Structure 1
Amino acid sequence: MSKKILIADDEESIRNSIAYALKREHFIVETAIDGEDALVKTNIFKPDVIVLDVMMPKLDGYGVCRELNNRKGIGILLLTAKSDIIDKILGLEMGADDYLSKPFDIRELIARIKALARRMERESTPSANDAPSILGAVEVYTSSRKVLVDQQPIELTPKEFDLLALLIAHPNRVYTREELLELVWGMDYLGETRTIDIHIQRLRKKIEPHQALLQTVYGIGYKAEHLS
């Protein structure tokens, strides 16, 4: 089945050029002219991936990310004219899965959209086994994609869940950032290893007061470890 892509950008020429390229790749395409329109179209069109410009009127791309942060099954790719790494980090912290700086090569954009659509499809495939992985006060249920901290459910984005599930399932194993990118984002991920640091920071905040479970192994990467 063809994947559905929503393009949200206030520049008509950009919307049209992206839509044309995606339709040639047999995607089903819808467009939005600003952030508020993007939220409305998301509820109606139910896209697999949203291509979202950061600088839009009414509601910017960051605001849309915030609104959709807990919406499972939708990948968000941010388009930004700002090249500063801080702006890209902000987008990831707001819930975006990937980003691309303007001006961009349409071939790279298509490749990133395809990669993100594949990741969303993998995440939506249920597992038959829902036995929890438990480390200290954190319980991770893979099939139902549920996490309990001190027996209370917490809300995670899809990538936060996948990253935590991997680390909790293999306590004391040290993963490099590159390994985590490959295992959680997939071999076709085209982003930077800084993405891992951002997600670990967010996870630590969400599993408080047990943030020490996620340990930094300096110069290498991360591991999950129960410190008694």
Structure 2
Amino acid sequence: MPRILLIDDDEQLGPPLAAYFARFELQLEHATRPSDGLARLRRGGFDAAILDVMLPEMDGFELCRTIRKDSDLPVIMLTARGEVMDRVVGLELGADDYLPKPFEPRELVARVQTVLRRRTAAPRPGAAARLAFEGGLEIDPATRTVLRGGQKLELTSTEFDLLHLLAREAGKVFSRDDILNHLRGHEAELYTRAVDIVVSRLRRKLEPLDCIKTLRNAGYSLALARSGGAPRG
């Protein structure tokens, strides 16, 4: 059963939410302080984390940044309703998804199931082949690893899925809506700014490779040739 850690200082939130998650075969544990949550995460065994933005000791943004220093664990941020900047900052720091408060428990479960499914799903037929590109970029869908010049890159699940999407059809232009529809496994508010944020993060991690190109009013493409051949378009 997947283990999920909720870090939220509302002591009344954990027990009923844990009971609800159990109906979907998800084990939810609750930490009310970031220091306790980080200690639990470092002991390992969790499959995803849910972080509230408003926390004692450190806010959810600093907590997400701390987690991202040494982990690609899927992270969902709980943000104040209507606070678009909270969502932007959370995504820039490496969160995989966001959900405004107050939320419906079923919606939170759906978000968790989506990030877990993206992390563990077997590649679709025809998408499992290892991809190698000029410049030393290698993508292995089976192990969800990416090498740049032989160096392993630490990518979040969302970053990996975006790179793999672009790499499978290198040279093809994907619109923001195309990318959102691929990355989100459930009906959700379209938030095209999220795509730009993830692309920006991915570009920084791929440096010095300059391979994700922006086509104004069209979208993004991977502009790298396959090793031994030209990019497919």
Partner in structure 2 of residue 119 of structure 1: 118
How many residues align structurally? 222
For the 8 Å contact 1:34–1:60, the answer to whether it is kept is: no
Range that drifts further, 48-57 or 75-84: 75-84
What are the within-5 Å matches in structure 2 for residues 134-153 of structure 1? 134-153=133-152
What are the within-5 Å matches in structure 2 for residues 75-86 of structure 1? 75-81=74-80, 83-86=82-85
2:23 partner letter = R
Whole-Å Cα distance in 2 between the matches of residues 93 and 164 of structure 1? 16
* 2:25 counterpart SS class: coil
Is 1:190 the equivalent of 2:188? yes
For the 8 Å contact 1:10–1:57, the answer to whether it is kept is: yes
1:215 partner letter = K
Partner in structure 1 of residue 165 of structure 2: 166
Whole-Å Cα distance in 1 between the matches of residues 121 and 25 of structure 2? 20
Partner in structure 2 of residue 43 of structure 1: 42
Is 1:57 the equivalent of 2:46? no
Q: 1:68 to 1:207 in 2, by over 3 A?
A: same
Whole-Å Cα distance in 2 between the matches of residues 20 and 151 of structure 1? 45
For the 8 Å contact 1:78–1:100, the answer to whether it is kept is: yes
1:41 partner letter = R
Range that drifts further, 134-143 or 54-63: 134-143
* 2:99 counterpart SS class: strand
Partner in structure 1 of residue 212 of structure 2: 214
Q: 1:124 to 1:23 in 2, by over 3 A?
A: farther
Q: 1:220 to 1:142 in 2, by over 3 A?
A: same
Whole-Å Cα distance in 2 between the matches of residues 58 and 174 of structure 1? 44
Partner in structure 2 of residue 92 of structure 1: 91
Root mean square deviation of aligned Cα: 2.8
Range that drifts further, 83-92 or 14-23: 14-23
Give CA-to-partner distance per residue, 1:170-208, whole Å, 9 cap, x none.
22111122222233x243263523221111111122222
* 1:160 counterpart SS class: helix
Whole-Å Cα distance in 1 between the matches of residues 140 and 25 of structure 2? 35
Whole-Å Cα distance in 1 between the matches of residues 25 and 128 of structure 2? 34
> Which 5+ residue runs of structure 1 have no aligned equivalent?
none
Whole-Å Cα distance in 2 between the matches of residues 132 and 45 of structure 1? 30
Post-superposition offset of 1:150: 4.2
Post-superposition offset of 1:119: 2.1
Post-superposition offset of 1:34: 1.4
For the 8 Å contact 2:214–2:220, the answer to whether it is kept is: yes
Partner in structure 1 of residue 108 of structure 2: 109
Partner in structure 2 of residue 29 of structure 1: 28
> Which 5+ residue runs of structure 2 have no aligned equivalent?
226-233
Q: 1:52 to 1:147 in 2, by over 3 A?
A: same
Whole-Å Cα distance in 1 between the matches of residues 139 and 26 of structure 2? 34
Post-superposition offset of 1:53: 0.7
Q: TM-score, normalised by structure 2?
A: 0.82
Q: TM-score, normalised by structure 1?
A: 0.83
